[in-house]
Amino acid sequence: MAAVISKEHDVILDTTTRKVGASRADIVSLDIEPLSKHIGKLESLADELLASLNPSSQPLFSRPSRAGIYKTAGYLTNMAIGFILGCLTFALIVLAYLSATNPATLKALLGG
C-alpha cells in the first residue's frame, strides 16, 4: 500500500517499509493480506469437508462432545430412505397382486 505525497512530482510513501520514493505508472503495488486471510478460511473449510468423510469426526463449528454426529445422521437418513423404499415396494406388490387376482377391484381403486 502506498500513500501519495505529491502528484506533481510523483512522490509516494510506501506504508509497509516507510520509504519515500518516486512513483511510476508501469508498476502496481497490491496488498494481498486480505486475500491471504480469505484463503486461510477457505483452507480450513476444505479441511472440514475432508474431515466430514470420517463418520466419527466432529464438525468444525459445533458444540463440544459432538463426535460421531455424521455416523448418527447417516444412520437416520438410511433408515428414512429404507422406510420410504419399503413402502413403495409394498404398494407395488399390492397393486401387482390386485391386478393379477381381481382386475375389476384394481380398476375401481384407481378410479376407472
Measuring CA to CA, how many Å separate 100 from each of 3, 29, 36, 69, 105? Answer: 87, 80, 68, 46, 11
**Cell numbers standing for residue 11:** 512522490
pTM over 0.85: no
The conformation of residue 7, written as its DSSP 8-state character, comes to T
pLDDT digits (tens, 9 = 90+) for 46-69: 998 888 888 888 887 778 888 888
**Cell numbers standing for residue 62:** 459445533
pLDDT digits (tens, 9 = 90+) for 68-105: 888 889 999 999 999 999 999 999 999 899 889 988 88
For the cut 80, the answer to whether the pLDDT of residue 1 exceeds it is: no
